[in-house]
């Protein structure tokens, strides 16, 4: 069985994230969405809230499961038996950062390959931080996130 891991902070999960997860689910037998604690980023949503939102969003995908994690990605990938780490790429700046991370992960533990999936044009400039900023200013985010995430953002900024 080919198992892939799709890591991220998902603060919050966006339609761009869901696109990458859905496409990965079409390529692999199982996809584990790895929700990173990322305490250093000071996320808006708690790890538990982010995990619950991701679980709700990916519920229709039968071969996708969601797990929170702390620590190093390579350790979590090994623990989950993932052969591939899937990363979404939006723009050149993403490539530089993700390329560096992939190279470091190979040095730390080369047992999982990194595979990049390009975002489609409609999600090329979409990020969780932009969604959070729009939501914090009372702007409409329904085009960028699933309905449950939009509701959670409204509740956070009410």
Phi and psi at 20, nearest 5°, equal -65, -45
Per-residue tokens: 97: 């950062």
Residue among 155, 154, 144, 152 at smallest CA distance from 18: 144
pLDDT at 92: 78
At 62 the pLDDT is 98
Distances (CA, A) of 156 to 47, 66, 106, 119, 130: 15, 22, 38, 28, 15
> Active-site positions?
17, 41, 90, 128
Are residues 62 and 36 in contact, defined by beta-carbon separation less than 8 angstroms? Answer: no
> So what's the pLDDT on residue 39?
80
- CATH number for region 3-125: 3.40.50.620
Instruction: Say if residues 40 and 7 touch (Cβ distance below 8 Å).
Output: no
Model confidence, pTM: 0.95
C-alpha 78/C-alpha 113 separation (Å) is: 11
**pLDDT tens for the chain, residues 1 to 158:** 899 999 999 999 999 999 999 999 999 999 999 999 988 889 999 999 999 999 999 999 999 999 999 999 999 999 999 999 999 999 877 888 888 999 998 898 888 899 999 999 999 999 999 999 999 999 999 999 999 999 999 999 99
């Amino acid at each position: 069985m080919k198992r892939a891991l799709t890591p991220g902070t998902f603060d919050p999960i966006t339609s761009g994230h869901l696109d990458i997860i859905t496409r990965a689910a079409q390529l692999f037998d199982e996809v584990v969405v790895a929700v990173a604690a990322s305490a250093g980023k000071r996320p808006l949503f708690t790890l538990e809230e982010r995990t619950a939102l991701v679980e709700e969003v990916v519920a229709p995908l039968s071969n996708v499961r969601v797990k929170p994690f702390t620590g190093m990605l390579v350790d979590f990938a090994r623990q989950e038996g993932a052969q591939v780490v899937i990363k979404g790429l939006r723009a050149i700046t993403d490539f530089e950062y993700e390329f560096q991370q992939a190279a470091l992960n190979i040095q730390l533990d080369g047992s999982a390959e990194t595979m990049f999936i390009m975002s489609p044009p409609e999600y090329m400039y979409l990020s969780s931080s932009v969604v959070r900023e729009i939501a914090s200013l009372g702007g409409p985010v329904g085009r960028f996130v699933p309905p449950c995430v939009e509701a959670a953002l409204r509740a956070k900024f009410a």
